[in-house]
Chains A and B, each alone.
Chain A
Amino acid sequence: MFVGKLKTTYLLIALLGAAYLLLITITSNSYYQLMLTLVPIWAVMGLSWNIFSGYSGLVSFGHAVFFGLGAYTTAILAAEAGLTPWLGIPIAGLAGSLAGILVGAITFRLRGHYFSLAMLAYPLALLHVFEWAGYQELSVPMRRESAAAFMQFSDQRWYAVIALVLMIFAMLISIRTERSRFGFSLLSIKQNELAAEAAGIDSFRWKLRAIAVSGALAGAAGGLYAIVLLVVTPGTVFGLQASALALIVTMFGGVGTVWGPVVGAAVLIPLSEVLHAELGSVLPGIQGVVFGAAIILVIMTMPQGIVWAVRDRFVKRARRQGVALLAAGPEPAASLHPIGEPIMTLEGVSRHFGGVRALTDVSMTVNRGEILGIIGPNGAGKTTLFNNINGLIIPDHGSIHFLGKPLQRQRPNRICALGIGRTFQVARPFPRMTLLENVTVGAYVKAASDEEAVALARGAIARLGLESQEETLASELTNYELRLMELARAIASDPVLLMLDEPFAGLASTEVASFMSLIRRLRADGVTIVIIEHTMYAMVKLVDRFVVLDHGVVIASGTPDTVVKDERVVKAYLGDKWVADAVD
């Protein structure tokens, strides 16, 4: 799916490079030459921001921290160690990357707004540190005697060429990111981190990789910037404007696409530079006003940015047919895989939220090959139980063992990798991704390569009969299709145990019947299933065994016909009238 338009993209980049090169060679005015250099530098900053914030959704207000460190690394190496920028800029990239890993490792525990605010603080803190350390104004020394070796050209156009090469390099890295499991993992984290974790995506590791790559690009851009301008001051490289510009060129052009930052920089940098040159003496703040106005304008008129707005205008998706329901065929015999030994054991699991005892001393087992139903009134702790098992919540007391291994304190993605898949009560799709892409995210945990992941995903989709919807965006799916898609995402990693949280919610009765057949088929294929559901008429037909929770306590367990007659169960949950209707 990712490969289709890749050639076109490379061709476009080659064309862009050639055209830009031509533009550089025919530009003789040194002011315009500088502009031709600054556009790719800020495009690289935008690409850097996009690789991290655009794909992962964690908005960074502090990308100047990497830019500034890169600029100072290159400039200090040149001024104090006499090192050529040909080495200094790659080292700046390395410094940016290390800074990224450090910042990420410290800051990723923060989410949303808090993360953005913390990012804001890093460059501004360093700004003061560099001022205090005596680098208020650091000049790169002149080396006219061996100009080329020290990247000091009398012909300014060389800088533009170097900047162009850096930009194309950054674009290629972006494309590799965008079209691989790297990018898809980040996108899934951006759209729903909990679902991504439950589907086996190690969100921390991918975010750390993203910020390392992003920091490297920003560091290299900063290094080149220092060499081009020959003077570095803390205010210009660590200041808010540098951070803001990375974000603004990307948002203006379009977030989450390699073309966005390039288009944004190509429009905004020349515009602000020309205005600054023409009016800067009368209106000194004109550049900042242009950037501010640009970002406001884009948000008001096309919040996705220019590139996406253009794409939406010209590429229309055809409305499709819905997926067919499963005809009631012969039910597969459960006896193919007789119910076997316990594969998961919970012992004394308790979890309190403040004063609320969500789970108290829950002990239970799940046996290989069975369908186990968890029932109980609202607030009984059913979903909390699932969250404890798959690592979203850490139990206060007790132990959970799966296939002999303890699960407590494991992160959800590790638990997924061990063979536990789950769906959520409220469907948690990645809305901007196609169905196939959604399911592929669930397959990464079991796949060595991207191709294998796609193949696994296709297999899961075929098992549920969703082939016709592969290319449909998740946001356009019906509720039934969404439920199936979540199921497909959960089985794409070929789990031993599948936990379904109210899969029938909001489904019509024919859809429920179809869904039940699919669950039986999965069990016939050897998957063990634990299911939370309120639809009792369906449950008594589906499950082998019930566990009944009330106020966080297991009040009964056993086969359907014994449980529905259990007095405590009837009292707590079913109501007297129900029993007579159900068991016939």
Chain B
Amino acid sequence: MLAALPSLETILQTIAAGLLVGSTYGLMCVALGLIFGIMRLINFAQGDFLMAGMYFASIVLTTLGLSGLIGGIPALVVAVLLAIPLFMLVGVALHWTLLGRIGRASQAMTEGELHQTQLIMTLGISLILANGALMVFGSTPVSLDTPLSTQAWVLDPFGEGEILVFLNKGRVAAAAVAVAATAGLYLLLNRTSLGRRLRAAADNPLAATYMGIDVTASHRITFGLGFALTAVAGVMVATFYPFQPYVGIDFVIVMYAGVVLGGMGSIIGSFWGGLIIGLVQQLSTLVLPTQLQGTTVFLVFLLILLVGPQGLFGRSVERA
């Protein structure tokens, strides 16, 4: 079952692919980590948010024919720029109508029960999104035909022309957008008053309330931001990954694994977590049959949970 020892070229190729895919995973993880870090909510529907971004890309590029009108790459830029406000709004609306209303009816809910109920509600949202997409778009896999997905840059790391590393342009673009978006979020959280409010609401909701911060509004903005960032990742992934309505499940464990590895609550740590998961996943293809790739990610995830649930950048918070 083990493959023969891979060549240096294959290894370099795999590491490159791992770093590129990992950066894109990083953005997904950052979005999930943002929602968890600030709202203490594990968002089950994260994979379906990603799927929503993918179909959005397909609508903008293909259905509306924008890539035919202004070319594939400008159309992709437009899709990313449109996705941010649009899905921000959708996320805010979801929080407004559903998540934010949990627990208002009965005061007796403990904080733990509240989070648990919210978690189960995101499961409901996930079921509706995935199956709703199945109703609307059908189950036929879609692959976007952009100039990026079929072209590659060639690196010649040793300058001898013997070992060549191919970088798929779609993956490079996705990684670049992911790094840019993560940097943007970092600046937003650390350099703006909105960011300070969000972080305050996360650190101590009660104290933040006393300081005049509207915690519910902070959570609403967070959920919107999380949705928007995930959708951006979805738009970019759609350029090189064929998708169908249930595609979210392919990514959801990757995201959880990255967030837990990065340390739950550490938002930027999630990016590094996602990057490492991407590397591990790609490297596992060197030694394991591709069908077991999914299983590898799950096993790594379980291992991370069992060995060090506080993650690389997290704080151990449990107190007796």
Contacts and interface: CB of A to CB of B under 8 A. Distances in A.
B74 to A, nearest CB: 33
Contact of A289 (B42, B128, B139): B128
B135 A289 contact: yes
A247 B117 CA distance: 12
A292 B253 contact: no
A82 interface: no
Interface size band for B: 35 or more
A387 B319 CA distance: 11
A119 B179 CA distance: 31
Q: Is the interface of A mostly helix, strand, loop or mixed?
A: helix
Nearest to A293: B128
A248 to B, nearest CB: 8
A393 interface: yes
A45 to B, nearest CB: 16
A59 interface: yes
Contacts of A111: 318
A117 B261 CA distance: 13
B86 interface: no
B320 A283 contact: no
Given A114-B260, A128-B291, A284 B253 contact: no
Contacts, number: 140
B272 interface: no
B286 interface: no
Contacts of A132: 289, 291-292, 295
Interface stretch (A296-304, A479-487, A540-548): A296-304
B266 to A, nearest CB: 15
B114 to A, nearest CB: 10
Given A284-B134, A284-B135, A118 B302 contact: yes
Interface in B231-273: 245, 249, 253, 256, 260, 264
Interface in B124-145: 124-128, 130-135, 138-139
Interface string B96-119: 001001100110110010011101
Contacts of A288: 127-128, 130-131, 134
Given A124-B253, A125-B295, A132-B289, A59 B120 contact: yes
A367 interface: no
B135 A283 contact: yes
Interface in B280-320: 289, 291-295, 298-299, 301-302, 305-306, 309, 318, 320
Contacts of A208: none
A299 B295 contact: no
Contact of B135 (A116, A122, A285, A296): A285
Contact of B98 (A61, A112, A300, A303): A300
Contacts of B126: 292
Interface in A96-114: 106-107, 109-114
Interface string A274-301: 0000000001111111011111100111
B12 interface: no
17 contacts: A59-B116, A113-B264, A121-B298, A128-B292, A283-B135, A284-B139, A285-B132, A285-B133, A286-B135, A287-B131, A288-B134, A289-B128, A291-B124, A296-B124, A299-B117, A299-B121, A431-B108
Interface of A: 59, 61, 106-107, 109-114, 116-118, 120-122, 124-125, 127-129, 131-132, 194, 240-241, 244, 247-248, 251, 283-289, 291-296, 299-301, 303, 387, 392-393, 431, 475
Interface of B: 42, 44, 98, 101-102, 105-106, 108-109, 112, 115-117, 119-121, 123-128, 130-135, 138-139, 245, 249, 253, 256, 260, 264, 289, 291-295, 298-299, 301-302, 305-306, 309, 318, 320
- Complex A-B, nearest 7 residue pairs according to Cβ-Cβ distance, in ascending order: A285-B131, A288-B131, A292-B127, A285-B134, A125-B298, A292-B128, A295-B124
